[in-house]
Chains A and B, each alone.
Chain A
Amino acid sequence: MYFQKLLLVIIHKFNGERSSMAPYYLLKGKKSGQTIQDVTYFDLHPFFSLYPKLSKEEYNVEISTLLSNNLIEEKEAFIFITEKGLGQIKSMRETLYNGWDLRGNEHIFWRRLDLTVQTLSHFQANEKRFIPNQKDNAIHHFVRGFLLERNFQSSTFGSQFKNQLMLLLENPKLLEIHRTLFVYRLSGYKESGLTWEQLAQEQNSTILDMKFQFIECLHILLSDITAEKFPDLYALLKDIYVLTPLTDSATKTSQLFEKGYTIDEIAQMRFLKLNTIEDHVIEIVSANQSFPIYSFITSEQLQRVLDISKQLKTKKLKIIRENASDLSYFQIRLALTKGEEVHG
């Protein structure tokens, strides 16, 4: 139910202007020009890249259910929310995701925390050998450093850490389900965490519902962790927030722009298609407001696109292009991306 409602919220935001796959690519965090620009057009930052592992099969099952319950409908390859669907989300609590800034990195925080708690719990029981849930060497390395800096074998550190977790979980923005998921996914001495399937069973819910609420829980908590309030948890946040949320390829393109090359030159140098470099520009502009775009589009042209979009209440490229045939699709996309930022 929860995941379906989340889908309804997202479909509602897409405003009937995208296909039923658009929410899928958004949740997976697809790094294509289309998905990235949509994030800005439709103000979908919170939901970007929430669950890269989402499979098409799982997703299609949920969409089919929504369709057959008449909560959404499909018209000419576009997906709409119905009145009934709107009714479902009207009373829904606002979701508190922060996908754009975190990009899945909340799981790195979680893995560090999981290993920290597992270690402290075992050491408190005087058991210094255990099999860690986390297998990644980078996580081991980080947590070892973290614990060694903190005199973790002292009797006080474990309780101090627990108190911080208690306080963190008192956060009034959390629901009871969030707290439950958080603590029952953790493992300790003679207390293994529960699997998603076990939690879903316990809550009479589905695995996807559990996973998405868990992610929401992490997003809520991470935004609350400050160095003053939670000094130790804050240390586990190191390098979690994305500084340059660009793909590697777009980063390279961006560097070449800084050196003064044109789109065509960059495409040639990198053996890439022009389209791809244009996608990069959209991505760069989404991430960086101050990126100069006036070599691609004049301010008059930009304003014209925004006016048409506003007047016709649409962000469909085709319709806008019909009313501004002198502009390329790239220019229109650029204008819409920039426009959202100017206003948003």
Chain B
Amino acid sequence: MDKLTEVLHSKFGYTSFREGQKEVIEQVLARQDVVAILPTGMGKSLLYQLPAYFMDGTVIVISPLLSLMQDQVEQLKMMGEKRVIAINSFLSYDQKEIVLRNLAVYKFIFTSPEMLQNERFNKALSAIPIAYIVADEAHCISQWGFDFRPDYLRISKSLKNVKDVPVLALTATATKNVVEDIKSTLLMKSPFEYIHSLDRTSIAYEAREVENQQEKIAWIFGRITSTRGPGILYTQSRKKTEFYAEELRNRGIRVAFYHAKMDQDDRILIQQQFQQGQLDWICATNAFGMGIHKGDIRQVIHDHIPTSIASYMQEVGRAARDGKQSIASIIYSSSDVEQAFYVAMQDFPGEPDIRLTYQHQLEGMELQLPETTARILNYWKEELTEQETIHLFQNIKQKKWVEIQSLYTMLQNEVCVREQLLHYFDEQLLERPVHCCSKCGLHIQDIFQMDKEQKIEKIELNWKNRLNSLLL
């Protein structure tokens, strides 16, 4: 066994690398800049976690999402790595002080692009040896995209302070243009590029158009009560998650709902119940997914058209992490197109918002815009004229409309779903799996056993028994 595989086994508990992992890791170890594109669930984190054990210095991971950061910190801690910290707004002033004074003790430091702008933090960073820098979710760098995070652009300034440190950019989705943006923004020198196929061969795609809401609901209840999970039913509103969960529970399914309005404690409990097999189905908004490390999710159902093809791929990608046959079903009606566009535009600044931002010297936040939207507007205010900004947002809006339309077309036409999804990300389908998609022909009964879920057993709550089962 070579050294890399040895550590893979001892630290991470895997016996072999997945496709592409070793190549990327070797480049990181050779202090090369790297751009790696891998679909969700294909072992992206390992790419920056493993090389750390062969290099001196600290690994800085820049991540735009707080929840993602927390999750990765937790994963590392689970593997027994104690020298890990997330430096973000969750830390109190005192905690931050202590951490900053002892920065060198950490092997992994997770932080946000915003926090990197902090001068003290920056200074502290420049005083410690750094092994390499990781830009996670690197597609947020692209100014032209929907997920643009202005503070990501400013990373390059911070990077200049820590000279000659290699950069590893990671993302699950990036078109060619976005890759170019990533390379130039992160000042990469002829980086090694690794692009993994986005195809998840063990996920079969099923697309079904229905006439109306009743038909949709009937189909979903039929599917869930006659087949096995574990599965996730994605829907668009909190109310709907509760509605589905209640109805399915009445039909004997072990199910719970999940959305961002729930207490954090309760969200964690639902995740754990699902993870441990106490629940078979989760009815969730797109808030559900991060922090779910469950290999055996067999079904993902969408009752709507998602607002982007990338996020659809990401949600579907939660299935079949163990590589076993799974299915992603999407049940939609023509009115869902409008709805998807409406949802996508909810946090989007309109022309009046943009004008007000320019004319009144208002911070975007005072306009009651979500924080990320406000930041984007404030960024463009410095860069472009009012008219240019209005034009830019019209453009992004137009692109969004086209994207949703093309997703609808992909589902509706007669062409293979898998082929079209890959094509959208500039990829060719090389080998068609046996269970491909509903247009190529699917036999559901070949994919999973058509039997019923384990039913809810009504158990009497008994505090003594419960305590006895918690502790010996």
Q: Which residues of A contact B (CB under 8 A)?
A: 117, 120-121, 124, 129-133, 135, 137-138, 155, 158-159, 161-162, 165-166, 169, 176, 179-180, 182-184, 186-188, 190-198, 202
Interface string of B269-291 (1 = CB under 8 A from A): 11011011010000000000000
Binds A, one of B393-401, B442-450, B458-466: B458-466
The 4 closest A-B pairs by CB, nearest first: A188-B470, A162-B471, A195-B266, A192-B272
Q: Are A193 and B471 in contact (CB under 8 A)?
A: no
- Pick the contact of A190: B70, B265, B270, B276 (CB < 8 A): B276
- Pick the contact of A121: B80, B264, B470 (CB < 8 A): B470
Q: Are B256 and A195 in contact (CB under 8 A)?
A: yes
25 intermolecular pairs with C-beta atoms under 8 Å apart? A117-B470, A124-B472, A132-B74, A133-B265, A135-B264, A137-B95, A158-B472, A159-B471, A162-B470, A165-B471, A166-B467, A169-B463, A179-B463, A183-B466, A184-B461, A184-B463, A192-B276, A195-B256, A195-B266, A195-B270, A196-B263, A197-B256, A197-B266, A198-B256, A202-B461
Interface of A is mostly: helix
A183-B463 CB under 8 A given contacts A158-B472, A159-B471: yes
- Pick the contact of B471: A121, A131, A138, A192 (CB < 8 A): A121
Which B residues touch A169, using CB under 8 A? Answer: 463, 467
Chain A minimum-CB-distance residue to B470: A188
A195-B269 CB under 8 A given contacts A137-B95, A169-B463: yes
Check: B392 CB closer than 8 A to any chain A CB.
no
Q: Are A191 and B469 in contact (CB under 8 A)?
A: yes
- Pick the contact of B70: A135, A158, A161 (CB < 8 A): A135
What's the Cα separation between A197 and B242 when bound, in Å? Answer: 11
What's the Cα separation between A195 and B271 when bound, in Å? Answer: 11
What's the Cα separation between A7 and B198 when bound, in Å? Answer: 56
Which A residues touch B262, using CB under 8 A? Answer: 195, 197
Q: Are A158 and B461 in contact (CB under 8 A)?
A: no
A243 → B minimal CB distance (Å)? 18
Q: Which residues of B contact A (CB under 8 A)?
A: 70, 74, 78-80, 95, 256, 262-266, 268-270, 272-273, 275-276, 278, 461, 463-464, 466-472
Which A residues touch B471, using CB under 8 A? Answer: 117, 120-121, 124, 158-159, 161-162, 165, 188
Q: Are B74 and A131 in contact (CB under 8 A)?
A: yes
Which A residues touch B463, using CB under 8 A? Answer: 169, 176, 179-180, 182-184
Which A residues touch B80, using CB under 8 A? Answer: 129
Q: Are B472 and A159 in contact (CB under 8 A)?
A: yes
- Pick the contact of B467: A130, A132, A138, A183 (CB < 8 A): A183
A178 → B minimal CB distance (Å)? 9
B150 → A minimal CB distance (Å)? 28
What's the Cα separation between A176 and B466 when bound, in Å? Answer: 13
Interface of B is mostly: helix
Which A residues touch B461, using CB under 8 A? Answer: 180, 184, 202
Most chain-B Cβ atoms within 10 A of its Cβ — which of A176, A180, A197?
A: A197
What's the Cα separation between A79 and B79 when bound, in Å? Answer: 57
Q: Are A131 and B467 in contact (CB under 8 A)?
A: no
Which A residues touch B464, using CB under 8 A? Answer: 166
Q: Are A187 and B269 in contact (CB under 8 A)?
A: yes
What's the Cα separation between A213 and B439 when bound, in Å? Answer: 54
A249 → B minimal CB distance (Å)? 17
Which A residues touch B469, using CB under 8 A? Answer: 188, 191
Q: Are A133 and B269 in contact (CB under 8 A)?
A: yes
Q: Are B278 and A192 in contact (CB under 8 A)?
A: yes
Chain A minimum-CB-distance residue to B257: A197
Which A residues touch B263, using CB under 8 A? Answer: 196
B463 → A minimal CB distance (Å)? 4
What's the Cα separation between A190 and B275 when bound, in Å? Answer: 9
Chain B minimum-CB-distance residue to A190: B276
Chain B minimum-CB-distance residue to A186: B470
B265 → A minimal CB distance (Å)? 7
Chain B minimum-CB-distance residue to A121: B470
Which A residues touch B268, using CB under 8 A? Answer: 133, 135
Most chain-A Cβ atoms within 10 A of its Cβ — which of B78, B262, B265?
A: B265
Chain A minimum-CB-distance residue to B263: A196
Which B residues touch A191, using CB under 8 A? Answer: 276, 466, 469-470
What's the Cα separation between A182 and B462 when bound, in Å? Answer: 11
What's the Cα separation between A106 and B269 when bound, in Å? Answer: 20
What's the Cα separation between A190 and B262 when bound, in Å? Answer: 23
Chain A minimum-CB-distance residue to B78: A129
Which A residues touch B272, using CB under 8 A? Answer: 131, 133, 187, 192
Which B residues touch A165, using CB under 8 A? Answer: 467, 471
Which B residues touch A183, using CB under 8 A? Answer: 463, 466-467, 470
What's the Cα separation between A135 and B67 when bound, in Å? Answer: 11
A118 → B minimal CB distance (Å)? 9
Chain A minimum-CB-distance residue to B278: A192
A330 → B minimal CB distance (Å)? 34
Which B residues touch A187, using CB under 8 A? Answer: 269, 272, 470
Chain B minimum-CB-distance residue to A176: B463
Chain B minimum-CB-distance residue to A136: B90
Q: Are B470 and A196 in contact (CB under 8 A)?
A: no
A152 → B minimal CB distance (Å)? 12
Chain A minimum-CB-distance residue to B471: A162
What's the Cα separation between A162 and B273 when bound, in Å? Answer: 23
What's the Cα separation between A186 and B467 when bound, in Å? Answer: 9
Which B residues touch A166, using CB under 8 A? Answer: 464, 467
What's the Cα separation between A12 and B107 when bound, in Å? Answer: 58
Which B residues touch A129, using CB under 8 A? Answer: 78-80
Chain A minimum-CB-distance residue to B291: A131
Given contacts A130-B78, A131-B272, A191-B469, 11 further A-B contacts (CB under 8 A): A117-B471, A124-B472, A129-B78, A129-B79, A132-B74, A159-B471, A161-B471, A166-B464, A184-B461, A187-B470, A197-B266
A131 → B minimal CB distance (Å)? 6
Chain A minimum-CB-distance residue to B277: A190
What's the Cα separation between A96 and B174 when bound, in Å? Answer: 58
Q: Are B269 and A193 in contact (CB under 8 A)?
A: yes
What's the Cα separation between A176 and B460 when bound, in Å? Answer: 13
Q: Are B74 and A192 in contact (CB under 8 A)?
A: no
Most chain-B Cβ atoms within 10 A of its Cβ — which of A159, A192, A196?
A: A192
A192-B78 CB under 8 A given contacts A120-B471, A184-B466: no
B396 → A minimal CB distance (Å)? 34
Which B residues touch A197, using CB under 8 A? Answer: 256, 262, 266
